[in-house]
Amino acid sequence: MADKKKKRGKRGGHHIDPSIKPGSFKYIWASVSHNKGAVFGMIFLAAIIILSLLSPYICRYSYSATDFINMKSWPSAEHLFGTDDLGRDILSRILFGARYTLIIGILSTLLSAVLGILMGAIAGFFGGVIDAFLMRFLDIFQAFPSLVLAMAFCAVFGTGVDKCILALGITGIPGFARLMRANILRIRNTEYIEAATTVNCPTWKIILKHIIPNAVSPVIVEIAMSISRNGLASSSLSFLGLGVQEPKPEWGAMLASTRNYIRDFPYMVIIPGIFIVLTVLSFNLLGDAFRDALDPNFKE
């Protein structure tokens, strides 16, 4: 097997054994794992998730425990990332807080992806009145900046993680719907769909075998982007005081509560900031890698 891998040529810019069928999970895995950025993203996210889940057991301090002797202390052996203005250990807060950023990002994306793809697909397939009705309905949502809509939503229904997910999820629907609809409209009129009709391919099979595989890759990238965007938005909402509430350590909320100390104790702001940046970056890199793996036309 080893020498076989060496002999074969390149595909998609990566050295992948050509006997693996493109489109299969094995191929996608091979392609993604050859992408350095994606590997970094995967390792970083996996580490964050595992450490976050284990944080109550492995951290020396609770995320809400205050250490009055060591208030506002710079990073040291005792507090690796230092302590904040109330003497809480930043490392513990970062690790515990990762769950909020990730949960909000992933669940809100799931909500908007499922509903958006469904609405976009229906609008694209059936066209006419259904299309016009659905798309005009979504136009209403899109007319508001998403963060403003999310703020309005939180103002009406109250704050909290669940409200945050709902608000970000709903504002994400139009993006997915438009993407899916445009893709389906493009594919529905191509000659290979007609060719499938001439060989008696039933409609449901055309949709499953020809339309969806061709429509799905931009959507997958959008999912990755949306997770990072919503993670960021959850930080913004928390920063504004509308998302996760104190003393729960959401990254954005940590930025917000310590921003007054940026001049004298910049580490309090920089450390959560770095984690937000790295998480967003990881999701984006993963999304790019998946797009490349799924697209047979991709060449580096």
Partner 1 sequence: MAALMEVQNLKKYFKSHAGMVHAVDDITLSIEEGKTLGLVGESGCGKSTLGRTLIHLNESTEGRIIFQGKDVTRLKGKEMKAFRNDVQMIFQDPYSSLDPRQTVSDIIKEPMKLLGTMSSNEVEERTIELMDTVGIEKRLRMSYPHELDGGRRQRVGIARALALKPKFIVCDEPVSALDVSIQAQIINLLMDLQDNMGLTYLFITHDMSVVKHISHQICVMYLGQMVELCDRDELFAHPLHPYTKALLSAIPTVDIHKKKQRILLKGEIKSPIDPGQECRFCSRCVYADESCRQGVKLCEVRPGHMVACNKAAEINQL
Pick the stretch among 19-27, 97-105, 237-245, 248-256 that binds partner 1 (CB under 8 A): 19-27
Tell me: does residue 24 bind partner 1 (CB under 8 A). Answer: no
Pick the stretch among 121-129, 139-147, 194-202, 241-249 that binds partner 1 (CB under 8 A): 194-202
Q: Which listed residue (214, 261, 270, 278) binds partner 1 by CB under 8 A? A: 214
Q: How many Cα neighbours within 13 Å face the side chain of 219?
A: 27
* Nearer to partner 1 (CB atom), residue 160 or residue 218: 218
Tell me: does residue 64 bind partner 1 (CB under 8 A). Answer: no
Tell me: does residue 205 bind partner 1 (CB under 8 A). Answer: yes
Tell me: does residue 68 bind partner 1 (CB under 8 A). Answer: no
User: Contacts by 8-16 with C-beta closer than 8 Å and gap 24+?
Assistant: 12/292, 12/293, 12/298, 12/299, 12/300, 13/298, 13/299, 13/300, 14/300
CB of 132 to partner 1, least distance (A): 16
Other beta carbons less than 10 A from residue 120's beta carbon: 29
Q: Which residues pair with 83 in a beta bridge?
A: 89
Tell me: does residue 218 bind partner 1 (CB under 8 A). Answer: no
Q: Which listed residue (76, 197, 203, 245) binds partner 1 by CB under 8 A? A: 197
Tell me: does residue 158 bind partner 1 (CB under 8 A). Answer: no
Tell me: does residue 165 bind partner 1 (CB under 8 A). Answer: no
Tell me: does residue 296 bind partner 1 (CB under 8 A). Answer: yes
d(Cα 165, Cα 150) in Å, to the nearest integer? 9
The size of the chain, in residues, is 300
Q: Which listed residue (201, 220, 225, 274) binds partner 1 by CB under 8 A? A: 201
The residue type at 38: A
Cα 288 to its chain centre, rounded Å, is: 12
CB of 180 to partner 1, least distance (A): 17
Q: Which listed residue (69, 77, 140, 199) binds partner 1 by CB under 8 A? A: 199
* Nearer to partner 1 (CB atom), residue 28 or residue 281: 28
Tell me: does residue 213 bind partner 1 (CB under 8 A). Answer: yes
Tell me: does residue 194 bind partner 1 (CB under 8 A). Answer: yes
* Nearer to partner 1 (CB atom), residue 23 or residue 56: 23
* Nearer to partner 1 (CB atom), residue 36 or residue 209: 209
* Nearer to partner 1 (CB atom), residue 20 or residue 147: 20
Residues that bind partner 1 (CB under 8 A): 18, 21-23, 190-192, 194-201, 205, 210, 213-214, 296-297
